[in-house]
Amino acid sequence: MSTAQIAFLKGHGTENDFVIVPDHEGRIELPPADVARLCDRRAGIGADGVLRVVRSAAHPEARAMADEAEWFMDYRNSDGSIAEMCGNGVRVFARYLEHAGLAEAGDLAIATRAGVRRAHIAKPGPGGEPGDVTVAMGRAVLPEGEVTVTVGERSWPARNVNMGNPHAVAFVGDLADAGNLYTAPAVAPAVAYPDGTNVEFVVDRGPRHVALRVHERGSGETRSCGTGACAVMVAAARRDGADPAVTGIPVTYTVDVPGGRLVISEGPDGTVEMTGPAVIVAEGVFDASRLPAVG
């Protein structure tokens, strides 16, 4: 990363927070160590991840999507590793584009490593508060095979759900059963998740209303995970005998996360939509030379 001052913003979606780095022409290098330095909550800016904003035509991984989506979300976990998708990140990314005058309320397309995601920014409320952002998250893939999640001496069966990134969804009696989620729960068999996985622990709150805690691969426990909420909704719907592809009837669940509330719907065509808030809370500049090494 250059030692010159670099503009950044800070935003969050249900308290899943991100450092946003506008790099429209793709000129800023973000090695993993520098991402980790930015995300360090004591010595850096602090975040669950980094969203680099690049024109699709300027990024080699996104050029093929440039005709569909002008902007590419280059997402990195807080440890610097690359992730395929981040649902809350897409909402915050869309909010940044609106904030910067690069998009307006309404529909827009965003390129990600999991493909193009369609978003809708609602108009501001009567008090001027930002409208919620809805993201079409694609279709869930439900790989075959049994999966088990273990914390300490306790184990639970889990549902393998892929939302562009992998998830293991376990239904438990109490969210405290998840224990300390700063370290990754054990998931077996390992072959089910060759690149690791996000793990969600879920309890019921009422009819079509669940709550979760999550360990995000590469970040530890976070206040929210958008793709995780979608995976949980699909797993809960199948557990409850609801499959819109079979019934032709859309299904909607309320999903509470530690940082707020999301509304997740699945349509008969299998498309999962997530609706929730996205907020820009600060902006400024940083000098990479002032960020101490991590680790």
* Positions marked catalytic: 86, 225
| Tokens describing residue 22 | 């506008």
Contact 131, 123 (CB under 8 A): yes
* All residues at 6 or more sequence positions from 220 whose CB lies less than 8 Å from its CB, including other chains: 78, 181, 182, 183
Residues within the annotated binding site?
Answer: 16, 77, 87-88, 165, 198, 216-217, 226-227
Helix (H) or strand (E) segment spanning residue 71: strand 71-77
Per-residue b/e over 104-139, b at no fewer than 16 CB within 10 Å?
A: eeeebbbbbbbebbbbbbeeeeeeeebbbbbbbbbb
Cα distance between residue 235 and residue 89, in whole Å: 22
Residues within the annotated binding site for substrate?
Answer: 16, 77, 87-88, 165, 198, 216-217, 226-227
Cα distance between residue 20 and residue 10, in whole Å: 6
Helix (H) or strand (E) segment spanning residue 9: strand 5-13
| Tokens describing residue 247 | 């019934």
